[in-house]
Amino acid sequence: MAETQEPQAGAAAPAQEPQAAAPAPEAKPHPGALQDAEVVTEMEIGRTSKLVFQIGKRRSGDQAFDIREYVDRPPRGDNPGYSGPTRSGFRLHEENYEEFLEAVKAVGRKLGYVVD
């Protein structure tokens, strides 16, 4: 019968090879994301955030526009950070564009801007 040897006191444990970090999974679009989305413009609203204005098609095939906040937050402490869209934003059907534009103009007038 073969004898097993116990490690001697004070002997160094065998070195373990560091495990390579698994590659980050490729980001999948949100199931509710606009299809064939086209970014029309962006507007910086802070050091790490911006508004992204897009047009595209909803799952139903109707054209819509989307205004959403995107962030680019670096890792900090235990927080891994995040870059991408947030829940802050909204999407409207194309048919609501004129009403939306009138509402934005009303806000501008209330703030004292000259709006056509």
Q: How far is CA 60 from CA 32, 64, 69, 93, 96, in A?
A: 11, 10, 24, 11, 16
- 94, two tokens: 């194309």
Question: Does 102 reside within a domain?
Answer: yes
Question: Does 41 reside within a domain?
Answer: yes
* Spans of the chain below 50 pLDDT: none
How far is it, in rounded angstroms, from Cα 82 to Cα 89?
Answer: 17
How far is it, in rounded angstroms, from Cα 115 to Cα 27?
Answer: 41
Per-residue pLDDT tens for 50-67?
999 999 999 889 999 999
Q: Count how many domains the chain has.
A: 1
Question: Does 75 reside within a domain?
Answer: yes
pLDDT of residue 33: 79
Question: Does 81 reside within a domain?
Answer: yes
Question: Does 6 reside within a domain?
Answer: no
pLDDT of residue 91: 93
How many other CB atoms are found less than 10 A from the CB of residue 54? 20
Residue 49's domain comprises 35-110
Question: Does 7 reside within a domain?
Answer: no
CATH of the domain at 44: 3.10.450.700
